[in-house]
Structure 1
Amino acid sequence: MATPAPPPGGRGPGRTRRWRSRAESARQEAERRFPVITELTARLLSVNVLDAATRLAAQLFLTAVPFILVAAAFTPQSVRDQLLTSARDVFGLTGASEDQLRQLYGAQHSGQDGTRQATGVIGALVALLSATASSRAMGRVCQRAWQLPKTSARMAVWRWFTWIITWVAVLVLQGPMRDGFGAGLWLGVPLIFVMDVGLWWWTQRFLLGGRVPWLLLLPGAVLTAGAMTALSVTARIYMPTALNHSLATYGSLGSVFTLLSWLIAICVVITVTLTAGAVLATQPPLALPLNRIRNRHKA
């Protein structure tokens, strides 16, 4: 019986094995030369970026935003005015979207006494308790980025309250800082960047319960601050047009979808940059100088 001829062009199981061998060799070479890229890819897959970002955005939208509205009813008039200015400046609202924000603010202002009576101190505390869901979601993002186990509830509860209250206070300051306290964007953008670096640096350290040294948290803080500063500038260009189009096409419901979509995009960026910062801080080439600085300070 004649021996079957090999497949034309050398095709068959032998060629498939050669391709697999070459692919495996290429993967090993990439891991050797670029450990940061391979580690970042694996870490992002383990974090499940889209799922974590969507959960964080949902918690912020459903719990943090209502808490801001309730808290505004208990603050002085100057604070409420500043909160309105900050919300308008952060998103660069103009036209119909700005009018809707003012209508919401006007309804809240006219019903301030009614809001206080309806909610009361207990209602405000319940809103604050619900808003800690955002703190917990952000804490999970930080823990997954650093591959750390959850902290005990006894250690974490007061941190959840402190974090959300601090972020509301920072939101009030966004307006004047973004305008450079009257000097303009040339000063406002650097100020926002510096403030964001400090805020995200503190956020990681605080929500992780101090389990990661300050210095190792700096790359993630810088990456996140840079991305958020860029998004804040982009928001002033994109959001007014998108919101006004949604309002004209779908009414108030359209603006809700637009804001939620933008919030999800922001949370995706936060998740990616915090994870990338954790990888950069623990992988060559940045890990070596960071460890040297740490050891020098310890000595």
Structure 2
Amino acid sequence: MTGSRGPARWPALGRILSTIRRTRAGRRWGRVRDVELWQRSLGFAALGFLTLVPLLIVVSAANPVGGQGFAQWLGDGLGVSPAARAEIDRLFALPGEAWRTTTAFGLALLAVFGLSFGTVLQSGYERIWDLPPSRWWARWRHVLWLGALVAVLYLSAITSPWRESPARGFVTVAIGTLFFWWSQRLLLGGRVGWLALLPGAVATMVGLLGLRVFSRLVFSPLIASSAVTYGPFGTVLVIQSWLVGVGVVVFGGALAGRLVHDELARRAQPPAPGN
């Protein structure tokens, strides 16, 4: 009896799932699945740690104030406690040596590998907006985007005199929103309008602020405890997990912006005759 009863339940379950997929929430979840948000975020974190972090360490080492720019920026981004910030400073100790020992060839190699970071971000944006990949000759956008990203993070890292002021927080949010707004427009090759991209930029910055709060509550104690248990490797694991969260926010924010744009466009359409 049990064997005959079990298969009969599967068609009912299939009808329920089919009904859910036809609803608006189901279609939205389908878009999240199609974008492969989690897989892209993992690639974002791995590539960011292997290519972007070394490049930023070398660039921030040029800071004449003391060469601790990258560790300060990373601590600010995580929003960690003083104890966890000390572990981050210890992990990236003596970054000034990076600037003195890195050759021009090594810096150029880091920049070339860093360009692949823009490629990952562009492919994610194109998938979110259902656009075909750009032509190969449009790779110059990755150079421009990487230069702007390094400049924004470098300026953020060297503004230590007014690091905790409310004015700095407002300026950081404004610059971040403009950067992600411009990044979508640039990497998509102008194929999506500015107004359509604005919700995604705002959602990304809101998500990063939420991630900062989450980092203070979760990642900050994890850094301190992992450093005691695993040493510097434990700190690396927590930072890598944080980068995965950043990837989820960056791609998820752009996807949320696409969903908001589609919903606003649907509401702006005139009702069909007879409705």
Shorter-chain TM-score above 0.5: yes
* Alpha carbons of structure 1 residues 238 and 16: separation in structure 2 relative to 1, 3 Å: closer
What's 1:155 paired with?
138
Alignment gaps of 5+ in structure 2 = 271-275
Alignment counterpart, residue 287 of structure 1, candidates 265, 269, 273: 265
Return the alpha-carbon distance in structure 1 between the equivalents of residues 86 and 42 of structure 2: 29
* Alpha carbons of structure 1 residues 13 and 205: separation in structure 2 relative to 1, 3 Å: same
The residue correspondences of 1:125-144 to structure 2 (distance < 5 A) are 125-144=108-127
* Alpha carbons of structure 1 residues 149 and 21: separation in structure 2 relative to 1, 3 Å: closer
Which amino acid letter does the alignment assign opposite residue 110 of structure 2?
A
Matched residues, percent identical? Answer: 27
* Alpha carbons of structure 1 residues 291 and 169: separation in structure 2 relative to 1, 3 Å: farther
Alignment counterpart, residue 64 of structure 2, candidates 77, 81, 94: 77
Return the alpha-carbon distance in structure 2 between the equivalents of residues 101 and 25 of structure 1: 48
The residue correspondences of 1:187-226 to structure 2 (distance < 5 A) are 187-226=167-206
Which amino acid letter does the alignment assign opposite residue 214 of structure 1?
W
Alignment gaps of 5+ in structure 1 = 1-6, 293-299
Q: Secondary structure at the match of 1:196?
A: helix
Scaled by the length of structure 2, the TM-score of the pair is 0.82
Return the alpha-carbon distance in structure 2 between the equivalents of residues 80 and 94 of structure 1: 21
Note the aligned Cα RMSD (angstroms).
Answer: 3.2
**Aligned-pair CA distance for 1:97:** 3.7
2:128–2:255 Cα contact (<8 Å) kept: yes
What's 1:23 paired with?
16
What's 1:4 paired with?
none
What's 1:87 paired with?
74
2:60–2:68 Cα contact (<8 Å) kept: no
**Aligned-pair CA distance for 1:60:** 0.5
* Alpha carbons of structure 1 residues 249 and 46: separation in structure 2 relative to 1, 3 Å: same
The residue correspondences of 1:181-192 to structure 2 (distance < 5 A) are 183-184=165-166, 187-192=167-172
Structure exhibiting the larger radius of gyration computed from Cα positions: 1
**Aligned-pair CA distance for 1:135:** 0.9
**Aligned-pair CA distance for 1:221:** 1.2
Give CA-to-partner distance per residue, 1:159-191, whole Å, 9 cap, x none: 11221222222223446889975534xx55444
**How many residues of Structure 1 are paired with residues of Structure 2 in the alignment?**
267
Return the alpha-carbon distance in structure 2 between the equivalents of residues 50 and 154 of structure 1: 29
Alignment counterpart, residue 51 of structure 2, candidates 31, 38, 63: 63
2:87–2:235 Cα contact (<8 Å) kept: no
Return the alpha-carbon distance in structure 2 between the equivalents of residues 63 and 181 of structure 1: 27
1:178–1:192 Cα contact (<8 Å) kept: no
What's 1:121 paired with?
104
The residue correspondences of 1:102-121 to structure 2 (distance < 5 A) are 102-109=89-96, 111=97, 115-116=99-100, 118-121=101-104
Q: Secondary structure at the match of 1:60?
A: helix
* Alpha carbons of structure 1 residues 12 and 160: separation in structure 2 relative to 1, 3 Å: closer
**Aligned-pair CA distance for 1:229:** 1.4
Alignment counterpart, residue 244 of structure 1, candidates 224, 227, 236: 224
